[in-house]
Amino acid sequence: MFFSCEDSTTTPKDSFTLSGVVSYTGTSGSGGVVVSLYKEVVINDTLQQIMDEYPNIGVPLTPKLMFDKNEQDPVKVTETRSSGEWSFSDIKAGNYVVVLNKEHAFEFIHGVIVNEDLDIGSKTLKEAIVFENGTVIGEDLVIEANSNVYIQGVVKVSEFGSLTVKEGVNVAFSDSLYGEDGYDKGTLIVKNNLKMTGNKDNFIKLFGESTNETESWNAVKVEEGDADLSYILSLNSRGGVVLYKSESIITNSFFLNNKQGTSFVENGLNSKCSNSVFIGNGIGFKGYMSEASVISDRSLFYGNGTGCDISGESSSFVGNSLFDSNNIGITTYQNFDGEVSNCEFRNNGFGAFLHGSDYAENTSKTTFSYCNFKNNSDWNINIEPRDYYINAMADINNCNIEGEKLIYIYGWIARPNKHDIDFKNNYFFGLKDSVEIEERIFDKEDVDAGAKNYTGKVKFMPIKPEYIYDAGIL
């Protein structure tokens, strides 16, 4: 016979099995390893468009970098048998991440593509190096590549020691309650030099062990000495990286979903942050700069509460960075004496929010030059002192400013502020003279016609008649 009358069709499988083996290097054996299955992250269209439009800012975003186990529930969870074997059944086709965890050690296995029954083979989970609460590191210590580290409570590197962390290290912070130096969660305090150097294919990961971000402080605080951090992934913390009175460099790093703050520089001396990405944080980068610093260069601030929060009287620089979809793009305090140059502020609530200074002797001016402000829904530029005795001083020049809400300027009638704001040589997208511009600006006279000159000096002329093509990210 050349054919059969029986139905030869088969129903395609819509679910599969996924299995593997874990080899745990700790003395407790390979049984009892928690194996969790998560969906791989899909980068949204907006972020993909940003990367295509600006390939030279930040670091390339990948599903591996964007993965945060605290932002989703696992699809499946099991434990290994004593042999280290594990398996899942009834897994839908898709891209997954397998997370291994035992005794504070973690391994993240990305790129697991399920479209048939799949055995991913044997994977090694390295036992964690545990630093218990109260540990003091008084010598030069090197954490080798691809190790697991667990910070339990408060751990210090003394002025006689230093810490070097190599690529691919997972640093998990405890959620245990300890009280010391104002920190009551997992904290690494460095009183000398800190060097954390990953690479583009193997970032160093800093994260809270807890699945609840309110339970993990997850702070690296450098109190003295130098900090050299590159290819760092800091995620889902409350403390992040705090650099205090140190000459610090942060490059090619990614700060994701840190709820209160991420990179914080206080009294930074010639510090630099460049080619980094800040997404979904309470504050992306916060700095009080006491000497000249490059606060941010070629970085991306997307979807943060505040992208960049800057204060201090230093002649610091923010440049060639994109602020997109934040509640506030950049905010400045104490008349930050520096320059914001060639930046893009778009789709934020406020593009730039200037608070001014409460020190009468502070005559520093914040300069915005060659920036683009576009479609920031509350105001492109907001000048709003916190009280009547605070004065804002700024030069805003050679910028393109577009949108229904151009500028908001606020002062106090009872005691007029002595603002000194100089808008000059800006292009206001078709507005031809100061009368047209002032109609698109909110000030106190809009609600009280008797409040004259409350702002001190605010000038808008001359204006540019054509788009300034030199503005924006170079």
Lowest mean pLDDT among 10-24, 100-114, 211-225, 234-248: 211-225
**310, 273 contact by CB (below 8 A):** no
User: Bigger pLDDT: 314 or 424?
Assistant: 424
Higher model confidence: residue 295 or residue 90?
Answer: 90
More confident residue, 158 or 3: 158
**pLDDT at position 452:** 46
Beta strands in 128-180 (DSSP E): 128-131, 136-137, 140-143, 148-151, 154-157, 162-165, 170-173
Q: Average pLDDT, stretch 439-443?
A: 67
Section 182-206 average pLDDT = 84
The average pLDDT across 314-340 equals 86
Structure confidence at residue 313 as a pLDDT band (50, 70, 90) = low
**Lowest mean pLDDT, pick from 97-101, 358-362, 400-404:** 358-362
Check pLDDT > 90 for residue 35: yes
CA dihedral 62, 262, 321, 400 (to 10 degrees): 120
Q: Are 175 and 187 in contact (CB under 8 A)?
A: no
Is 369:346 a contact under the CB 8 Å cutoff? no
User: Using 50, 70 and 90 to split pLDDT, how confident is the model at 3?
Assistant: very low
> What pLDDT, on the 0 to 100 scale, is given for residue 6?
46
Q: Quick one: pLDDT at residue 392?
A: 75
| pLDDT reported for residue 306 | 92
Over residues 58-70, the mean pLDDT reads 94
CB 236, CB 266: distance < 8 Å: no
Q: Say what the pLDDT of residue 260 is.
A: 65
> Residues, the chain, total?
474
Per-chain mean pLDDT for the chain: 84
What pLDDT, on a 0 to 100 scale, did the predictor assign at position 467?
Answer: 94
Structure tokens at 309: 């929060």
Question: Does an H or E element contain 437, and which?
Answer: helix 434-439
The pLDDT value recorded for residue 394 is 85
Choose the weakest-confidence range: 70-84, 161-175, 182-196, 367-381. 182-196
Domains of the chain: 16-125 (2.60.40.10), 134-459 (2.160.20)
What percent of the chain shows pLDDT beyond 70?
A: 78
The pLDDT, as a whole number, for residue 450 is 45
28-32, 157-161, 446-450: which has the highest mean pLDDT? 28-32
The Cβ of residue 463 has, within 10 Å, a number of other Cβ atoms equal to: 18
The pLDDT of residue 382: 87
Q: Which residues contact 430 (CB under 8 A, 6 or more apart)?
A: none
Q: Which pLDDT value is given to residue 317?
A: 83
Indicate the pairing of strand 393-397 with strand 420-424: parallel
- Taking every pair of Cα atoms in the chain, the longest distance, rounded to a whole number of angstroms, is 103
pTM exceeds 0.85 = yes
Which stretch of 83-87, 182-186, 359-363 has the lowest confidence by average pLDDT? 182-186
Say how far apart CA 352 and CA 375 lie, in whole Å.
12
Q: What mean pLDDT comes out for the span 399-423?
A: 76
